[in-house]
Amino acid sequence: MAVPKRKTSPSKRGMRRSADALKSPTYVEDKDSGELRRPHHLDLKTGMYRGRQILSPKSDA
């Protein structure tokens, strides 16, 4: 059976457990379309990011 060679410090233990407190993802309202999107992500529907056209808009099929 594997046995730890050293005691895990409270700091390392806390760093490992920090992922347990992850929050739900945040969303912001888009200025142009008014829809919710992730912050710092481009809008896939319109193809806009920070006021610039990055991708061609998604066409409705």
CA 4, 10, 14 angle in degrees (round to 5)? 105
pLDDT in tens, 9-23: 999 999 999 988 888
Domain ranges (residues) in the chain: 24-61
Q: What is the pTM of this model?
A: 0.52
Closest CA to 27 of 9, 40, 14: 40
Q: What is the distance between the alpha carbons of residues 43 and 54, in angstroms, rounded to a whole number?
A: 9
Q: Is the pLDDT of residue 43 over 90?
A: no
Q: What is the pLDDT of residue 57?
A: 79
pLDDT score for 35: 86
Q: Between 23 and 6, name the one with better pLDDT.
A: 6
Whether 31 shows a pLDDT value over 70: the answer reads yes
Proportion of the chain above pLDDT 90, given as a percent: 39
